Structure 1
Amino acid sequence: MEQTSKPKKLLDQYRDSIRLKQYSFRTEKTYITWVREYILFHSKRHPREMGVIEINQFITHLVVDRKASASTQNQAISAILFLYNNTLHIELDKSSLNFIRPKRGKRVPNVLSVSEVRTIITHMTGVHKLMTQIMYGSGLRLMECLRLRVKDFDFENHRIIVYDGKGGDDRITMLPDSILAPLREHLARTKAIHQKDLANGHGSVHMPFALDKKYPTAHKEWIWQYAFPHHLKPRPQHRNCASSSYS
């Protein structure tokens, strides 16, 4: 007797829709959080049973009761509209939505001077200091630094290759001479931990874009390991992103 598989829950379907669009993991987490709050606000009613009226009520709640900022409102609106457009495939009458996407106010950025940055870095130690030096010297965003793999460092040409950065773009940036030595030392320590993990049957990382199918053993190779595994949380439903000693 054949067993029919259970249909996926709504949030799992929603997660699949987001990943099909190749949104970032942080966007995925944020969108799921807002859809969950939207459902809970309406006493766990299924979104199919709701529509424009309920969306208006929820956004009004965010504005009036929670005093949500413009960026927070926009996140919630985008998450809910994505649910109806891409997961439920329900065409909403957007002319009946009584909210207007708020515009974020312009703010003057607080930029540290070179001497201020040097002072901060001078008072840092260990891997956090190295990561800060890389971000400052190479112009990397936080998550770009956290997701660097060993193979992304080109010591010979003094450069870092950033894959799948903001907007899904790849780019090349400089690898400052001042951090070559401490970076080599850090990678040597990390490699020793990785080799120990391999000996214990661990040491596997998530492979992007289903490369684990094309290269089935690459997930344990040194060049594919994360440079800073201790600071990177694994993405759910994937291989563990860090060696066991760092988990």
Structure 2
Amino acid sequence: MDSKPPRLLEQVRHAIRLKHYSLSTEKSYLYWIRFFIRFHQLRHPRDLGNQDIQRFLTFLAVERNVAAGTQNQALNAIVFLYREVLKQPLGDFSNAVRAKKSQRLPSVFSQDEAQRVIAQLAPPYHAMAGLMYGSGLRLMEAVRLRVKDIDFNRETITVRSGKGDKDRQTLLPSPLVDELKAACRKTQLMHRMDRELGHGEVYMPNALARKYPGAAISLPWQYVFPSERLSTDPRSGRTGRHHISKDSVQRAVKRAIREAGIVKKASCHTFRHSFATHLLEVGYDIRTVQELLGHEDVRTTQIYTHVMAKGVSGVRSPLG
């Protein structure tokens, strides 16, 4: 007797992994597809149409009052389900009510505030905050940094598979060199101990584990900021040392902001906003800043001109 075909969510999970999407994307897509099915009283998506998708998207915007990014995330999950798993064409569902995209200016530290927050942090959070402010790294880019991605001779950092799955290079701030060298030495020591215990294998993105056999247990591929504990990869089932948790970095930075006496709304991402704003304030070309940040469109970078100390046009108040 033939075995039963895999259930729908298992098919989705398989398709996601074939595309080499991240674990966070996998969890997000599965969540929204479950939500979509429950919203339609457990009817199979194969029996639903564009009007049903419109109803769901409108429900999210009107009843749940979700942000535009959240609604787009749900839509991306549904589109993936129909195109990659069910192989059903999608028509037009542009009549759905779309969540309004907020137009908010980013919160920015002054240079003094950024330095005060960083000073409150102990290793490894001190170096990670320094990279977010001094190199413009996103939180997850700092968390996922590997030994091979730091070039101490050229004073550059290569960000691998950043937002949009693109690589880019940014600068390595001189004040962080000694601290990052110390972090790499600690990683080397932990990796040596893991190897002695029969572990030492690190997660390899996409199909690189097959392309470069043995790279997963080599030092260059290890994380600069590894977790203190070994863990089991939920996909492969192998035991290894993953990178430090982003949640622990966020908690440390939030605490440091409070201890520095800063009352403005701020987070890890405020360091990146501040990096861009401060470079523009001292006269760096906006295209250069765009490249360092990895923005696809310069209009994304232009938002920082609105929070510069004197504004993009240098207009001063008539009061002085």
How far has the Cα of 1:99 moved from its partner? 0.4
**Matches of 2:164 and 2:87 in 1, distance apart?**
25
Q: Structure 1 residue 103: deviation in Å? A: 4.3
Give the 3 Å change call, closer, same or farther, for CA 63–235 of structure 1 in structure 2: farther
Q: Which residue of 2 aligns with 1:67?
A: 65
Q: Please, which of 83, 100, 123 is the counterpart of residue 85 of structure 1?
A: 83
CA distance in 1, matches of 2:232, 2:40: 32
Letter aligned with residue 228 of structure 1: F
Report the secondary structure of 1:230's partner residue: coil
How far does the alpha carbon of each residue in 1:81-105 deviate from its partner, in whole angstroms, 9 at most, with x for none? Answer: 221122212123425x640434413
Could you tell which deviates more after superposition, 12-21 or 69-78? Answer: 12-21
Matches within 5 A, 1:1-247: 6-21=4-19, 23-94=21-92, 98-230=95-227, 236-238=234-236, 242-243=240-241
Secondary structure at the counterpart of residue 173 of structure 1: strand
Q: State the TM-score, normalizing by the size of structure 1.
A: 0.85
Q: CA deviation at 1:148?
A: 1.1
TM-score (norm: length of structure 2): 0.67
Give SS of 2:169's match: strand
Measure the CA separation in 2 of the matches of 1:215 and 1:21: 19
| Preserved contact between residue 229 and residue 241 of structure 1 (Cα < 8 Å) | no
**Greater relative contact order, per chain length (Cα 8 Å cut-off, separation 6+):** 2
> What secondary structure sits across from 1:229 in the alignment?
coil
**Cα distance 1:51–1:244, how it changes in 2: closer, same or farther (>3 A)?**
closer
- Aligned CA distance change for structure 1 residues 187 and 22 (closer, same or farther; 3 Å): same
Q: CA deviation at 1:23?
A: 4.6
How far did 1:230 drift? 1.3
Question: Structure 1 residues 241, 158: CA separation in 2 closer, same or farther (over 3 Å shift)?
Answer: farther
Amino acid of the structure 2 residue aligned with 1:191: Q
How many corresponding residue pairs?
A: 244
- The AA in structure 2 aligned to 1:54 is D
Measure how far apart 1:192 and its partner are. 1.3
Q: Which runs of 4+ in 1 moved over 6 A?
A: 231-235, 244-247
- The letter for the 1-side match of 2:73 is Q
Q: What CA distance in whole angstroms lies between the structure 2 residues aligned with 1:73 and 1:32? A: 15
- State the alpha-carbon separation in 1 of the partners of residues 176 and 239 from structure 2: 25
Q: Deviations over 1:146-172 (max 9, x none)?
A: 111111111111111111111122111
- Cα distance in 1 for partners of 2:53, 2:185 equals 53
Q: Quote the Cα distance in structure 1 between the aligned partners of 2:239 and 2:127.
A: 20
Would you tell me which structure has more helix in proportion to its own residues?
Answer: 1
Task: Indicate the SS of the match to 1:209.
Answer: coil
Residue identity in the other structure for 1:92: L
**Matched residue type, 1:36:** R
Structure 2: how far apart are the matches of 1:159 and 1:239? 34
Give structure 1 stretches of 5+ with no counterpart.
Answer: none
Q: What residue identity is the alignment partner of 2:185?
A: A
Deviations 1:112-136 (A, max 9, x none): 1111100101111121111111121
Aligned residues: CA RMSD: 2.9
Stretch moving more, 103-112 or 171-180 = 103-112
SS at match of 2:213: coil
| 72-81 or 11-20, larger mean C-alpha shift | 11-20
Task: Decide which moves more: 203-212 or 110-119.
Answer: 203-212
C-alpha contact (below 8 Å) 1:85/1:91 kept by paired residues: yes
Task: Give the aligned residue type for 1:175.
Answer: L
The one-letter amino acid of 1:180's match is V
| Secondary structure in structure 2 of the residue aligned to 1:201 | coil
Q: CA deviation at 1:140?
A: 0.9
